Amino acid sequence: MKNIITAIIAAVCVIVGGFAAHMLKSGGSGGGDAHAAKPAKDSHGGGGGHGDSGGHGGGDSHAAKPKKKDSHGGGGGHGGGGMSSDVIYFKFSREFVVPIMGEERVESLVILNINLEADSSISGKLFSMEPKVRDNIMTTLIELASDGETMRTLGDVDSYETMRTMVLMNLKKVFPSGIENVLIVDMGKQDL
């Protein structure tokens, strides 16, 4: 009975998390409109900061509307992003969970929250290809988990850099240009 309740709670959390991610992606830009306009009025440099947290460029285009409504014109949704150095931070809809195998069983799980620093020109492509990009990253992470050391020594800077470098190198196969960096925002390990 305890396992069923745990499974139900986990399923509810996943559903709520997915719903929240969907709302933040689609509906969050409408709510962020008023919030984004305040820092843009307070300091011009603060508007560039929203380009970093805007993630997919949605907040950038709305933040630019109150300031330059007439000149927004043909720039599209990425016109505001261009003003903040043409860099977006792509946030995946959920974390990456990598199993670490022991003697014929899963020994632990490594949970990684990965973001991509990318050129704003490929933001639409990243959105549409998220499943393929996730598959590429997950394949790389499983490969690193099977090497025996990288995922077991998460606190080691060399392992951390190896992980970032390998993920970026394999992403370059899907996106030869446009992805600048892999950012591991958060990570955790759960022993089973």
Domain extent, residue 95, equals: 91-191
**Residue 176 reports pLDDT greater than 50:** yes
Across the chain, mean pLDDT equals: 71
CA terminus-to-terminus distance, the chain: 20
Q: pTM of the full predicted structure? A: 0.54
Q: What's the number of domains the chain is made of?
A: 2
Q: Report percent pLDDT > 70 for the chain.
A: 59
The whole-angstrom separation of Cα 190 and Cα 192 is 6
Verify that 187 and 98 share a domain, yes or no: yes
pLDDT, one tens digit per residue, over 73-91 is 444 444 444 444 589 999 9
pLDDT at 104: 80
Verify that 72 and 123 share a domain, yes or no: no
Among candidate residues 58, 85, 112, the one where a domain is terminated: 85
The confidence band for 145, taking pLDDT boundaries of 50, 70 and 90, is confident
Verify that 43 and 103 share a domain, yes or no: no
The confidence band for 123, taking pLDDT boundaries of 50, 70 and 90, is confident
